[in-house]
């Protein structure tokens, strides 16, 4: 009977070992699933954060570019005004010089002589 008792205990031991193995495998499988879920969630959070950073960078670049365009337009308008004023001054100086030369050589018309007398008529006349 000792052999029957030994066989019974060996079977019991084998059963307990299988049960413990199954429990350990279940626990490891569960931990593996938890690790997989945590890795997925972490990856998702990193992806969302990167997407948010990219959106912020795009918005900043767009705002900066718009500010640059506005500043360039303002500079263009200012430069255009300065160039227009300078052109008018140069034109006026050239007309004054031409009148002075005409007057010096006696080529000034009657109305040009009036300019020298202090009248405000700045009309330029051409001889035909």
Q: What is the DSSP secondary-structure string of 80-117?
A: HHHHHHHHHHHHHHHHHHHHHHHHHTT---HHHHHHHT
pLDDT (tens place) for every residue of the chain, 128 residues total: 568 888 888 889 989 999 999 899 989 989 999 999 999 999 999 999 999 999 999 999 999 999 999 998 888 888 878 888 888 899 999 998 988 888 888 787 765 444 455 555 666 666 65
Nearest Cα to Cα of residue 125 among 61, 77, 115, 54: 115
Closest CA to 125 of 92, 102, 91, 94: 102
CA distance 94 to 102: 12
Q: What's the pLDDT score for residue 1?
A: 53
Which residues have C-beta within 8 Å of that of residue 123, sequence separation ≥ 6? Answer: 111
What predicted TM-score, i.e. pTM, was given to this entire model?
A: 0.40
- Under 8 Å between Cβ of 121 and 114: yes
Contacts of 112 (CB under 8 A, 6+ apart): 99, 102, 103, 125
């Amino acid at each position: 009977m000792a052999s029957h008792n030994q066989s019974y205990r060996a079977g019991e031991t084998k059963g307990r070992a299988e049960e413990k193995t199954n429990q350990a495998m279940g626990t490891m499988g569960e931990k593996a699933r938890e690790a997989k879920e945590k890795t997925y969630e972490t990856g998702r959070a990193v992806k969302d954060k990167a997407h948010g950073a990219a959106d912020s960078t795009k918005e900043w670049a767009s705002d900066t570019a718009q500010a640059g365009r506005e500043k360039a337009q303002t500079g263009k308008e200012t430069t255009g005004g300065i160039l227009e004023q300078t052109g008018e001054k140069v034109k006026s100086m050239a007309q004054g010089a031409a009148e002075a030369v005409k007057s010096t050589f006696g080529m000034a018309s009657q109305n040009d002589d009036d300019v020298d007398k202090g009248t405000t008529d700045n009309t330029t006349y051409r001889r035909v």
